[in-house]
Amino acid sequence: MRVLVVNNAAPFIRGGAEELADQLVRRLNATRGVEAELLRIPFRWEPADCIVEQILLNRNLRLYQVDRVIGLKFPAYLIPHPCKTLWLLHQFRQAYDLFVSGMSHLCDHESGERIAQLVCNADAQCFGECRAIYTISPITQARLRKFNGFDATVLHQPLLDGERFIGGEYGNYFFAGGRVGPGKRQHLLVEAMRHVKSTAKLVVAGPLDDEDYGFRLQGLVAQHDLGDRVELRFGFHSRNEIAIMVNAALACVYLPIDEDSMGYVTMEAFSAGKSVITAYDSGGVLELVRHGETGLVTGADPRSLAEQLDRLAGDRTTAIEMGRAAKLLLDSKALSWEHTIARLLNV
Amino acid sequence: MKVVIASSFVPFVKGGSRFIVEWLEQKLVEYGHQVERFYLPFVDRPDDLFDQILAFRLIDLSSSCDRLIAIRPPAHVLPHPNKILWFIHHIRGLYDLWDSPHRLVPDSPSGRAVRRAMMELDTRTIREARQVFTNSQVVATRLEHFNGIVAKPLYPPILAPQRLRNDGYGDEIVVICRVELHKRQWLLVEAMRHVKTPVRLRLCGTGMNSAHLDAIRAAIMNQRLESKIIYEDRWISEEEKIERLAPALAVAYLPEDEDSYGYCSLEAAHARKPILTTEDSGGVLEFVKDRVNGLIVPPNPIALAEAMDRLFVDRANTARMGEANNRRLSELCINWDTVVESLTS
């Protein structure tokens, strides 16, 4: 089966969507009986007038000798094909929620309203012709229902490289990965370490959102004389380095403020069989972390956190058992590439 | 410099028209440029020819790169203030193949109007380019004849020629390319019935036309040529290619009226092997000079068989032509320095 993955492209820019598209093609090619290739169509949305041309051009392209199309983004998914499945990362939000909230470049345009309507019409026609529509998050699913009246199924994005997160020993440290910044609240963790009674350490590793926050964390460590308890590894780490740190941790900690999704950090920990300590207000993370089963959920303050950290550090058996349950839960969500590809190709 | 390379492709079809794009991309990066490559789908079907070309025309990269290098048609219609073409062929069914079975539309008033529209559109959009290069003299001549545009051949090199080597001149004449009717491996199979020496033939490659592949296999079997012909019916790896070429007696490449010399001619030259080709092979004849760096014979089995025997018997001459074939590369300035310099200056 020949599967063409279709994505839009801003020249010279690479981000998460590009990573996902490349990974999807690689995984498709690793699937028996599937040959996959990526089609990237340049997309320009400024000035707003050119959006109409972009719709037209994508509709005018033709595909032959392709059995399946998997569309990821507007307007590339408008390219006609009789057997098209969408896996929507998001819509062209400038014509939808951002337009409504006044944050779209279409809002200041004299024909903005009409352009937004055109996008909506083009989407409606395309969605109606698709064999199936999946979205990558419940939020995109909800927007699709609200603005376009189409039902979609959520198909979460699997870990790009889950095979790295295979677990290992349960060392005497907690690992806090992911971006480091006020929105992820690593300062609460550092402060919690003042109150932790066990000998367990804390390792914080990830790129800094802003330098000041890095200084703040370093200041806290110095102020409370935590140098031998807390290790701050700011900056970029290779996927392999991150996996090594996750795989040997006792458990992981992740405290974002009201995250949209379950978070890669949570999925990586669960994949490696590590339970996760998180906060009541961490949003999507709570989809996976269940208190006392796959991790611990606590108030977002240093003392409550310290209590939970001590609880796990003092009871390794529980840490290991919850880690095991975490892995089972992740597996049961079938967030694997095999499952994802089976869904995307099952029309 | 920020460079976008744009070309058209048919999803899942590989071959020379991708190599030229991807190798150039790699080389431009090596020479320090920022490169983004776009393959856009295109099939020359008459029903939606102009719809597709319109789509290409609407792709606006004018503000996203310093230079656009367009390769396979209709990528040349993309607008850009600094557009350079490395034009590799026309939509030939509307051009030089009009008076052939490959004509794309009927020779009717409306068909002729399509042809005229295509030519006008090409002429206009090719003229927008700051400079036009082609991959061969054949294509440059066609551009001048049909579009009145003067273009310069810029011969495409292969990616890593230094890996090819020569282990002497053995018994095998090797053919490494797509197996298609117009590449005429079948003619070589026929010729093998008539050879008088123990010369052997090795075909490597496969193709899209499975009936034709079956026919080749059947011909080898029915004419009891299994001991003389080895057919590796698959895409061989680059490493295998090196190993097949190193001990070869010569390389055969006799496509029917091809636009350019073909990468297999270059591979032969880098491995210091002479090329056996035919009088009607088009662009190959820009590269091969008869009895200098190869043999050019009429496209019939008897003539080909005689040439194969000659290559086998007169090894000294075969080796001399092999060496001359290597010198041909520098005579024609086929190297990446020339290509990158031409396309980025």
* % of residues, chain A, pLDDT over 70: 99
E-strand ranges in B149-225 read 152-153, 172-176, 200-204
- Find the helix or strand (DSSP H, E) in which B37 lies: strand B34-41
Mean pLDDT value of segment A93-121: 93
Which pLDDT does position A347 carry in this prediction? 59
Of B12, B34, B59, the CB nearest to A57: B59
Nearest CB to A11 within list B41, B56, B65: B65
Contacts of A10 in chain B (CB under 8 A): 64
What was the pLDDT predicted at A234? 95
Query: Phi first, then psi: what are they for A174, rounded to 5°?
Result: -95, 140
Q: Which fold has domain B2-154?
A: Rossmann fold (3.40.50)
Would the CB atoms of B10 and A40 count as touching at under 8 Å?
no
In this predicted complex, what is the ipTM?
0.88
* pLDDT single digits (tens) B293-319: 999 999 999 999 999 999 999 999 999
Structure tokens at B331: 């005579």
B52 touches chain A (CB under 8 A): yes
Alpha carbon B232 to chain centroid distance?
Answer: 21
CA-closest candidate to residue A229, choices A186, A200, A251: A200
Position B17 confidence tier, pLDDT thresholds 50, 70, 90? confident
Mean pLDDT of B101-108: 95
The average pLDDT across A288-317 equals 96
pLDDT digits (tens, 9 = 90+) for A206-232: 999 888 999 999 999 999 999 999 999
The CA distance from A216 to A191, in Å, is: 11
Helix B49-58 vs helix A50-60: crossing angle, to nearest 10: 150
A265-289, pLDDT tens digit by residue? 999 999 999 999 999 999 888 989 9
**Could you give the domains of chain A?**
2-155 (3.40.50), 162-332 (3.40.50.2000)
- A41 in reach of chain B (CB within 8 A): yes
Give the residue-averaged pLDDT of A104-114: 93
Q: Give the span between the Cα atoms of A33 and A4, in whole angstroms.
A: 14
**Beta bridge partners of residue A86, listed in sequence order:** A71, A133
Range of weakest confidence among A37-41, A106-110, B49-53, B227-231 = A106-110
Of B12, B38, B51, the CB nearest to A65: B12
pLDDT higher at B302 or A45: B302
What pLDDT was estimated at residue A334?
A: 67
Lookup result for tokens 């961490």: A282
Residue contact A66–B55, C-beta within 8 A: no
CA atoms A132, A134, A140, A142: torsion sign: positive
Cβ neighbours of A40 in B, within 8 Å? 38-39
pLDDT of A335 > 90? The answer is no
pTM, two decimal places: 0.83
> For all residues of chain B together, what is the average pLDDT?
96
Q: What is the pLDDT of residue B16?
A: 78
Return the percentage of chain A with pLDDT > 90, whole number.
Answer: 78
B65/A62 touch (CB, cutoff 8 Å), yes or no: no
Residue type, position B86, single letter: W
The candidate with the shortest Cα–Cα distance to B159, out of B25, B11, B34, B283, is B25
In the predicted structure, residue A18 carries a pLDDT above the cut 90: no
Q: What is the pLDDT of residues B51-97, one digit of tens each?
A: 999 999 999 999 999 999 999 999 999 999 999 999 999 999 999 99
B11 touches chain A (CB under 8 A): yes
Testing the interface with B: which of A34, A51, A53, A81 to mutate, by most B Cβ within 10 A? A53
Question: What pLDDT, in 10s, does the model give residues A130-170?
Answer: 999 999 888 889 999 999 999 999 998 888 888 899 999 99
Average pLDDT taken over every residue of chain A: 93
CATH superfamily, domain B161-331, is Glycogen Phosphorylase B; (3.40.50.2000)
From the list B4, B11, B59, which residue is nearest A65 (CB)? B11
Say if residue B107's pLDDT is above 80: yes
- The ranges of chain B annotated as CATH 3.40.50.2000 are 161-331
Count interface pairs A-B at CB distance under 8 A: 79
- Average the pLDDT over B181-194 and give the result: 96
Query: pLDDT band for position B24 (50/70/90)?
Result: very high
pLDDT, average across residues A248-254: 97
pLDDT digits (tens, 9 = 90+) for B220-260: 999 999 999 999 999 899 999 999 999 999 999 999 999 89
Which residues, other chains included, contact B184 with Cβ-Cβ below 8 Å and sequence gap of 6+? B254, B255, B256, B278, B299
Determine what percent of chain B is predicted with pLDDT higher than 70.
100
Q: Are B14 and A65 in contact (CB under 8 A)?
A: no
User: Given an 8 Å threshold on Cβ–Cβ distance, is A2 in contact with B11?
Assistant: yes
Two structure tokens written together for A309: 């950290």
CB-hemisphere CA count at 13 Å for A120? Answer: 19
